[in-house]
Amino acid sequence: MGMKWYVVRRVAWAVVATYLAVSLTFGLLMVTPNAGADVAAAQAAASGQDYDAVRERYLERRGLDRPVEEQYVDYMTNILTLDWGYSFSQGEPVLAAIGEAWVYSAQYFVPSILISALLGYGIGLYSALNRYTPTDYLGSFVAYFGISIPNFWFAIVLILLFGVVFRLLPTFYDSGVALLSVQNAKQLLLPVVVLSTASVAGQMRYSRAQAIEYARSAFVKTARAKGASEWRVLTRHILRVALVPLSTILIADVLAVLFAGSFIIETIFQIPGLGRLALEAIQQRDTPLVLATTLIPVFIAILGNLLQDLAYVALDPRIDYGDR
């Protein structure tokens, strides 16, 4: 009963947290000057039209001339009915724009997370059991390199090196290429490498530190004394316990890639994904699209933290939610 009640409360809090995040974003948009209206009015004034009249028409077409409380109530009602409005910057319904963009983001996002988790944990655990060896030093170099270099700089360097100098890979993403093709895999290689580098470094550092801590514990010494192989000690004893804190780091890296990495990568490589869609919506103050692209990562963050807490019980039986 304790676990079920805990899940119910966490789901309820997820709804409240999502509501607060979307409300805060709505409020920030309302107090932000409308650059699109100002630009349209300035262009109209340059051609001899009335500045204020053009600006009012611009706001009226987008429903931004209504009272703020009326816009807020309408938007929250539309969210519950899955009517997320119309995107003026994309010229189509918001859900349709998101449905077209998420596929491009998932193509590099999912491989980056899998690679960062597998390589980061693998290198970190291996380095922990082989400390002060050449491979350990190499792993430490990779970690510090990945953390130190900015993603945008690394992406530009890779484009210049492999796209311009050696002409081995495309410099920009071509959305006309078939998704399941070698050409598409080639043009996704650089974005995946750029995103994976920083994530691998973070996962490697934390997994190495956790593995070193548990490698000296009594239960590991007991397992070795019973004749367990190093592979069994690593995977069945050290890794399982270390995954409890490491899962928190993995969720944080996923959110970091989703929130920050997608804006940078999709802008540099011209990928028409969710990050670039959100950036264009912010620049043009496309309120329905901005709120929708905010709602999605917020929901993923809250859901990811809920799944993370539930995974703690499977990874460590000592954790009990009965008293929470």
Considering only residues 1 and 312, tell me which one the structure prediction assigns the higher pLDDT: 312
Query: What's the rounded Cα separation, in Å, for the pair 324 and 309?
Result: 12
Tokens found for residue 287: 């309120």
Closest Cα partner for 58 from 39, 81, 82, 71?
39
In a domain, 196, yes or no: yes
Q: How far is CA 61 from CA 34, 87, 91, 234, in A?
A: 14, 12, 13, 62
> Does the pLDDT at position 43 exceed 80?
no
- 149-172 pLDDT, tens digit per residue, is 888 899 999 999 999 999 899 988
Which range is least confidently modeled, 40-44, 83-87, 251-255? 251-255
Please give the torsion angle defined by the CA atoms of residues 111, 116, 119 and 122, in that order, rounded to the nearest 10 degrees: -130
Planar angle of CA 314, 256, 35, nearest 5 degrees: 140
Bridge-based pairing state of the strands 92-93 and 86-87 = antiparallel
In a domain, 54, yes or no: no
The model's pTM: 0.79
In a domain, 121, yes or no: yes
In a domain, 214, yes or no: yes
- 216-273 pLDDT, tens digit per residue, is 788 888 888 888 887 788 777 787 777 777 777 776 666 666 566 778 888 899 999 9
> How many Cβ atoms sit within 10 Å of the Cβ of residue 33?
8
Q: Are 264 and 256 in contact (CB under 8 A)?
A: no
Query: What's the rounded Cα separation, in Å, for the pair 297 and 304?
Result: 10
User: Residue 209 is part of which domain span?
Assistant: 104-315
Q: Which DSSP string do the residues of 12-42 spell out, in sequence order? A: HHHHHHHHHHHHHHHHHHHHS--HHHHHHHH
SS3 225: helix
In a domain, 198, yes or no: yes
In a domain, 263, yes or no: yes
The domain spanning residue 200 has which CATH number?
1.10.3720.10
In a domain, 251, yes or no: yes
SS3 85: coil
Q: How many domains does the chain have?
A: 1
In a domain, 21, yes or no: no
SS3 63: coil
Closest Cα partner for 101 from 85, 87, 111, 115?
87
